[in-house]
Amino acid sequence: MSDSQNFPFTAIVGQEAMKQALLYNIIIPPIGGVLIRGEKGTAKSTAVRALASLLPERKSVKGCPFRCNFDDPDNFCSLCTERVSSGEELIPDMVRMRVVELPLSATEDRVSGTLDIEHAIRTGKRKFQPGILAEANGNILYVDEVNLLEDHLVDLLLDAAAMGVNYVEREGISFSHPARFLLVGTMNPEEGDLRPQLLDRFGLVVDVTGEGDMQLRKEIIRKRLGFEHNPKEFISSYNDSEKKLRECVVSAKSLADQIPIDDRILDIIVAITLRLGVDGHRADLTFIRAALASAALAGRTSISREDISRAAELSLPHRMYRRPFEEQHNDMKQVESWIMELYQDVS
């Protein structure tokens, strides 16, 4: 997707939680993606597409249809592995990460790719036609109205995102390739929800609403009209702020690896997930990764209480236990009070 005519990310008014969730995933991709829920006209799609201009470059294998990570030979596709085995010296190619969109009309073959069975029978060699998952490798895969996507396709996407590999098998012939991507979904809850099992697979979930402040709503209208009147001039006016945020994201990616995770922080996070009765350990891992990303984005070298609070808001609400016909068993005010209590106890 070209970002030349996308609304600038730094021009988006409000929706701080949504912007933070997207940036956190760029800084620490293992967070596991983000689902953005909200009514129409709340800048969901605008924010995702605007993200393209902030994405960093990455080193891929030149000539590889799956753009394998040059620095990760253990996870090369079979084609790159064969090239290395034959003695070929692979050449690095710096490419920009980008946003790849998955249309709702996509079929399973279009998503996962197809094997040419006739060619295999005729020649004895596999021939694979890459799909959207191949295109998404190393990039962001964006699914608008993900709640309207067929459940088996959502399962396919989430499985590939979790394993980092797309595996295709037809008539006893198989092929696999790396599929390491950041999954971003947007949806309008009024049009139906995701099954709880699928909802839990998204690392972060953000609920967005229209701005209620009169001045902010006026600012949104002004900026949108300015963009529509002269996109090139409007985008140009945000070049400096976009560059500054891009540099901040690159710096945060490096800083995140240096921030220590001590027992003090782990005690707080594990205590909260235990009090909530959250099943499994996905919530704990997402929680700590989001807190790390928050600290790194702010340029901090340690995780603060503020980072823990921000991470909790994004990683826990969709995983809280809910009884039938009841509201969430624990709201975020309760979680915040626990964070304050636990942070003081371990300080």
pLDDT in tens, 293-333: 999 999 999 998 899 989 988 988 887 755 444 454 447 77
SS3 9: helix
State how far the Cα of 220 lies from the Cα of 42, in Å rounded to an integer: 10
Mean pLDDT, rounded, of the chain: 83
Give, in order, the Cα–Cα distances in Å from 37 to each of 129, 197, 239, 333.
33, 16, 29, 21
Q: CATH homologous superfamily for 263-346? A: Magnesium chelatase subunit I, C-Terminal domain (1.10.8.80)
Place of tokens 């070298």: 301
Q: What proportion of the chain, given as a percentage, has pLDDT over 70? A: 91
Spatial contact of 305 and 342, defined as CB atoms under 8 Å apart: no
Q: Residue 44: CB partners within 8 Å, gap ≥ 6?
A: 18, 36, 38, 144, 186, 208
Q: Residue 276: CB partners within 8 Å, gap ≥ 6?
A: 283, 316, 319, 320, 321, 330, 335
pLDDT band at 248 (very low <50, low <70, confident <90, very high): very high
Q: What element of type H or E holds 217?
A: helix 214-229
Give span(s): CATH 1.10.8.80, the chain: 263-346
Quote the tokens at residue 308. 């823990």
State how far the Cα of 69 lies from the Cα of 77, in Å rounded to an integer: 10
Inform me whether the pLDDT recorded for 119 exceeds 50: yes
DSSP state of 203: S
State how far the Cα of 279 lies from the Cα of 77, in Å rounded to an integer: 34
State how far the Cα of 52 lies from the Cα of 46, in Å rounded to an integer: 11
pTM of the model: 0.84
**Catalytic residue set:** 282
What is the per-residue pLDDT across 260-270, written as a single tens digit (0 to 9) for each? 888 888 888 88
State the fold for domain 9-56+97-208.
Answer: Rossmann fold (3.40.50)
Q: What element of type H or E holds 342?
A: helix 332-346
Spatial contact of 164 and 179, defined as CB atoms under 8 Å apart: yes
State how far the Cα of 246 lies from the Cα of 269, in Å rounded to an integer: 29
First and final CA of the chain: distance in angstroms?
47
More confident residue, 280 or 292: 292
pLDDT band at 55 (very low <50, low <70, confident <90, very high): confident
State how far the Cα of 29 lies from the Cα of 263, in Å rounded to an integer: 23
Inform me whether the pLDDT recorded for 158 exceeds 90: no
The pLDDT value given to residue 323 = 45
Give, in order, the Cα–Cα distances in Å from 319 to each of 90, 269, 280, 316.
44, 14, 10, 5
Give span(s): CATH 3.40.50.300, the chain: 9-56+97-208
The pLDDT value given to residue 293 = 95
